[in-house]
Amino acid sequence: MATKVLLDTDIGTDSDDAIALALAMASPELDIVAVVATGKQARRRALLAKKILVVGGQQDVPVFVGADEPVGQGELYWFGHEGRGIVDDDEALGLEAQSGIEAYQELVQSIPNLEVIAIGSMSTIGRAINRYPGIADKFTKVTIMGGHVRTARYADTTMSPGIDYNLCIDPAASTSMLESGAAITLVPCEVTLQTWLTFRDTERLAAANAVGKILATSVRAWAPIQRAIFTGIGVGDKYDPDNADFLHDPLTVASAYADYLFTFEELWVEPLMVDNIFRTVERPAGTASAIKLRCATGVRSREFHELLMQRLAPDNSSIAGQQRHREL
């Protein structure tokens, strides 16, 4: 039986959120019962999510507009390219009237064994936890893309604390989430930085189907931004020129059902502020100020990449070959 999931996403800036939604749609292991769009310009993000669902034939999945600002001080990011060439602000796509915060309460009350996959900031789910005491106890599991627990490296460059946008951008909400008592699986950036989409993959997606074309449009808009970010923080000319998009969020979606691709460990993690940056610091087991979390600490990157591409842009010849093998 498919796992019922609520996907909380800041879809629209980094294109990996759109890829993650598409992967969830293409995964028979998951039943998407709702999508909550979190982040600055949350309504536009919600429209983008709904457009992908409609184009992919899953228009009955409700989409809710979540929080558009952090619980604490600061501001959620918006680059300006979000949804360009994909969705118009006035497109009639049927978003839900309820807020994403209210949706959390209603969904956990009405759907048994609901899991949450949170691949954006914790700004909506954090508010729901604060507003509805005990709600976190009703989630079967919360899988989070976020955290910087151990050393994160890319292209021989060690990433400084703060590379983790999802938890760092809203420390107050992140703390509420991590300290809620929910059964949390954390997929931190030191793992998600190990896999990315190439420009060849992007063209394969564009040729696959209508959803693939949307994904390719999103990737092409994001790729130069990502390159500028990573070359600017020390990677320099070691940045892989074929890296079109890190697959942080699709990897997190896959972790919800494909355990065999990952190494998981039970780690004691302390959420705290260090030099005005939110940190998730590994501590010795049993540390009073730390929380025991299930953390991804390794991934079979190549196998994950093959799974992703086969589900989003199937190689028909490969599928036919597998079918002939089964018949024999």
The DSSP output letter for 7 is E
- pLDDT confidence tier of residue 326, bands split at 50, 70 and 90: very low
> How are the residues of the chain apportioned to helix, strand and coil, as percentages rounded to the nearest 5?
40, 20, 35
User: How buried is residue 323: exposed, middle or buried, by Cβ count under 10 Å (0-12/13-18/19+)?
Assistant: exposed
Cα atoms found within 13 Å of the Cα of residue 302, Cβ hemisphere only: 0
pTM: 0.95
Average pLDDT over residues 283-296: 97
What are the pLDDT digits (tens) for 25-67?
Answer: 999 999 999 999 999 999 999 999 999 999 999 999 999 999 9
C-alpha to C-alpha distances, 186 to 15, 136, 144, 289, nearest whole angstrom? 21, 16, 5, 18
User: How buried is residue 39: exposed, middle or buried, by Cβ count under 10 Å (0-12/13-18/19+)?
Assistant: buried
- pLDDT confidence tier of residue 91, bands split at 50, 70 and 90: confident
Rounded-to-integer distance, Cα 156 and Cα 284, Å: 27
Closest CA relative to residue 186, chosen from 85, 293, 270: 293
- pLDDT confidence tier of residue 82, bands split at 50, 70 and 90: confident
Q: Locate tokens 């457009």: which residue?
A: 51
Q: Do the Cβ atoms of 147 and 267 come closer than 8 Å?
A: no
Number of domains in the chain: 1
The DSSP output letter for 31 is E
User: How buried is residue 184: exposed, middle or buried, by Cβ count under 10 Å (0-12/13-18/19+)?
Assistant: buried
pLDDT of residue 324 exceeding 80? no
Rounded-to-integer distance, Cα 111 and Cα 104, Å: 11
Closest CA relative to residue 182, chosen from 238, 229, 143, 127: 143
- pLDDT exceeding 70 applies to what percent of the chain? 96
Which pLDDT score, from 0 to 100, does residue 319 have?
38
- pLDDT confidence tier of residue 327, bands split at 50, 70 and 90: very low
Average pLDDT over residues 199-217: 98
Grouping H, G, I as helix, E, B as strand and the rest as coil, residue 261 is: helix
Rounded-to-integer distance, Cα 150 and Cα 126, Å: 24
- pLDDT exceeding 90 applies to what percent of the chain? 89
Closest CA relative to residue 311, chosen from 4, 89, 24: 24
Which pLDDT score, from 0 to 100, does residue 79 have?
87
Note the maximum CA span of the chain: 63
What are the pLDDT digits (tens) for 211-247?
Answer: 999 999 999 999 999 999 999 999 999 999 999 999 9
Average pLDDT over residues 302-317: 91
CATH of the domain at 249: 3.90.245.10
DSSP-assigned states of every residue in 287-307: -TT-EEEEEEEEE-HHHHHHH
Q: Residue 127: CB partners within 8 Å, gap ≥ 6? A: 67, 71, 101, 173
What are the pLDDT digits (tens) for 111-134?
Answer: 999 999 999 999 999 999 999 999
Q: What does the block give as tokens for 169? A: 């951008």
Which pLDDT score, from 0 to 100, does residue 316 have?
59
Domain that holds residue 57: 3-327
Helix or strand run (H / E) with residue 277? strand 277-283
pLDDT of residue 175 exceeding 60? yes
pLDDT of residue 150 exceeding 60? yes
Tell how strand 277-283 and strand 157-158 pair up.
Answer: unpaired
Helix or strand run (H / E) with residue 171? helix 171-178
- Give the mean pLDDT of the chain: 94
